[in-house]
Amino acid sequence: MDFHLLSQAFGTVMLNPMNLLFVFVGVTAGIMVGALPGLTATMGCALLIPFTFGLGPVRGLLMLMGIFCGGIYGGSISAILIRIPGTPSAAATLLDGYPLSQKGMGGKAIGMSTVASFLGGTTGAVVMTFLSPEIARVGLRFGPPEFLALAIFGLGMIITISGRSLLKGFISCLFGLLITTIGFDPLSGVPRFTFGSRDLLGGVTFIPALIGLFGYAQVFRNIEKMLILPTVKAKVENILPTLKEIRAVLKTIFKSALMGTFIGSIPGTGCDIAAFVTYGEAKRTSKHPEKFGTGILEGVAAPEAGNNGATGGAMIPMLTLGVPGDAVTAVLLGALTIHGLQPGPLLFRDHLDVIYPIFAGMIMAQVILLTVGLSGARFFARTINIDRKILTPVIFFLCVVGSYAMRFSFFDVGLSMVIGVVAYFMEYYEYPASPILLALILGPMAEQNLRRSLIISHGDPLIFVKRPISAAFIAIALFVIITSYYRIKKAAEKEAQMASVSEKEETD
């Protein structure tokens, strides 16, 4: 860690009003996107990447990181007020947030969520700042077998958490990897699966695929459910929690923040898992576990500190090893490459001018999140009331613009829409989209390093287990996949039992 560079980076971010403005715009947009049910932080980043094309890499990334942090926090607002988590990571927050809202303490719950998000996010950002350069130093020693093992590890992790079926997660992942083989072969330059189309020579571009998977698919679902979803109204009063209330949950906040950061830093996990694990842990270690779920501030503070801590954690593997921690960081990784930067250990050697402002920006984003969150809570609560019949067409339009803007290509718009239709059906048949996204990122890395390793070893596949780091990554991935298989099997058996009981009751 170079403190001189870090202080310079803080100067760059804080003393330049334009940089601060982009963080502010990102955080505000993120909170709004997060607060609106049906719009996730992933979707927000995907839709807003095109708006960063004209900015430099630092400003573009500052804005996107603002959206990331704001989006994760924003999800808690709708979770607390209307019992619909704005983002999946806020699902744990509603367990105590909504009961608080029913007691007339919705404003206070949002206030506590803001403070916990700030403290959690700051912890995550500080850990990221100090840990990333060290991990990158280790990463510099990685060769092709280690990078392949890392890709397998990342893909394996996301498959295990993406749904009720491991098999369907695998199929999604393989489908995503197959998509990455379209276009020029990275090693030989031979065009593959292009069928004579010039538009496909460069492969399926990341942004249209991303917007298809997370933008169009969601828009199609929103249009389909337009008349089914109930209209909701939300309002807040009394936001600021007292010092006494904050002090009472401070220990929980810091414990959850550190746990969240650690969970977020494991590739493929992300903020949703961090929120549930930290909520469970807070309940387990509480003196009054029976009060959880009835509407207590600790039940809001724990998952919010956890999921915001995970934002910084998820950035660590993305920046240092080029393996995203979750779907949003996969989008950020894509954004980095669009701005001409290749995430991974070399980023810490060749682009310190970008890395340190990212660290500083992440910490600044938390301060802005606290300010904007507390002062604008009433406004953000009102955004939940925006008519869906107006909002959905606008998002539909942003999907069109976003998929067009990368290469000014109507082919990309069409491709993106087709991917959106596929993703729309995939959701209904429980094929998760996140493994496809991660496969799009890690596919080229996996292919190149697999082939390079085999060329180096003269075709001996044992090269992947002979090297300790590579063997360790593969062993952990296998362990997690096997344990997940049994966990999912157990859950499915329980579900089937409950279904048969309810069927029996119906026939009786």
Partner 1 sequence: MKRANMTRADIAVGTGVIILATWVFWYSNGYRGTVIYIYGPNFFPQVLSVLMILCGVALIVRAIRGKALTKKDRIDRKGFVRTVIAIGICIGYLYLMQVIGFAMGTSVFLFVLMTFLGQRGLVKRVISSIATSLLVWAMFRYFLVIPLPTGIFDFTF
Among 14, 454, 469, 476, binds partner 1 (CB under 8 A): 454
- The yes or no reply on residue 411 touching partner 1 (CB under 8 A) is no
Binding segment (CB under 8 A) for partner 1, from list 170-178, 235-243, 280-288, 310-318: 170-178
- The yes or no reply on residue 412 touching partner 1 (CB under 8 A) is no
User: In whole angstroms, what is the distance from residue 19 CA to residue 87 CA?
Assistant: 27
Cβ 393 to partner 1, closest distance in Å? 4
Cβ 353 to partner 1, closest distance in Å? 23
Cβ 9 to partner 1, closest distance in Å? 25
Cβ 221 to partner 1, closest distance in Å? 8
Phi/psi of residue 192, nearest 5 degrees:
-125, 140
Are 327 and 139 contacting, i.e. CB atoms less than 8 angstroms apart? no
CB nearer partner 1, residue 260 or residue 435 = 435
**Of residues 1-30, those binding partner 1 (CB under 8 A):** none
CB nearer partner 1, residue 225 or residue 235 = 225
Tokens (6 digits) for 246? 């904050």
Give the three-class secondary structure for 123. helix
- The yes or no reply on residue 398 touching partner 1 (CB under 8 A) is yes
- The yes or no reply on residue 142 touching partner 1 (CB under 8 A) is no
User: In whole angstroms, what is the distance from residue 53 CA to residue 475 CA?
Assistant: 40
167: left (phi over 0), alpha (psi -120 to 50) or beta: alpha
Cβ 435 to partner 1, closest distance in Å? 12
- The yes or no reply on residue 494 touching partner 1 (CB under 8 A) is no
**Of residues 370-389, those binding partner 1 (CB under 8 A):** 387-389
User: In whole angstroms, what is the distance from residue 18 CA to residue 20 CA?
Assistant: 5
Among 455, 478, 482, 501, binds partner 1 (CB under 8 A): 455
User: CA–CA distance from 19 to each of 205, 210, 328, 343 (Å)?
Assistant: 28, 26, 21, 22
- The yes or no reply on residue 485 touching partner 1 (CB under 8 A) is no
Angle, CA 352 vertex, CA 154 and CA 209 arms, to 5°: 40
- The yes or no reply on residue 472 touching partner 1 (CB under 8 A) is no
Radius of gyration of the chain (CA): 22
Among 174, 248, 346, 465, binds partner 1 (CB under 8 A): 174
User: CA–CA distance from 171 to each of 160, 180, 476 (Å)?
Assistant: 12, 14, 21
Binding segment (CB under 8 A) for partner 1, from list 28-36, 231-239, 369-377, 488-496: 488-496
Binding segment (CB under 8 A) for partner 1, from list 39-47, 86-94, 275-283, 399-407: 399-407
Binding segment (CB under 8 A) for partner 1, from list 22-30, 125-133, 354-362, 443-451: 443-451
- The yes or no reply on residue 170 touching partner 1 (CB under 8 A) is yes
- The yes or no reply on residue 447 touching partner 1 (CB under 8 A) is yes
Among 18, 228, 243, 462, binds partner 1 (CB under 8 A): 228
CB nearer partner 1, residue 431 or residue 473 = 431
Cβ 58 to partner 1, closest distance in Å? 16
Q: Which residues contact 309 (CB under 8 A, 6 or more apart)?
A: 120, 121, 123, 124, 256, 257, 258, 259, 260, 261, 264, 274, 278
Q: Are strands 183-184 and 191-192 parallel, antiparallel or unpaired?
A: antiparallel
3-state SS, 386-448, equals: CCHHHHHHHHHHHHHHHHHHCCCCHHHHHHHHHHHHHHHHHHHCCCCCHHHHHHHHHHHHHHH
How many residues bind to partner 1 according to rule CB under 8 A? 62
State the Cα torsion 275-45-159-340 to the nearest 10°.
-130
- The yes or no reply on residue 192 touching partner 1 (CB under 8 A) is yes
First-to-last C-alpha distance (Å) of the chain: 68
- The yes or no reply on residue 353 touching partner 1 (CB under 8 A) is no
Element (H, E) at 191: strand 191-192
CB nearer partner 1, residue 454 or residue 465 = 454
Alpha helix ranges (H) inside 184-296: 206-211, 217-224, 243-264, 271-285
Report which of 236, 281, 194 is spatially closest to residue 101, judged by C-alpha positions: 236
The single-letter code of the amino acid at 470 is S
CB nearer partner 1, residue 181 or residue 371 = 181
CB nearer partner 1, residue 32 or residue 259 = 32
Interface positions with partner 1 (CB under 8 A): 50-51, 53-54, 164-165, 167-168, 170-171, 174-175, 177-178, 181, 185, 187-188, 190, 192-193, 220, 223-228, 387-390, 392-394, 396-398, 400-401, 405, 408, 410, 413-414, 417, 421, 424, 428-431, 447, 450-451, 454-455, 459, 492, 495-496, 499
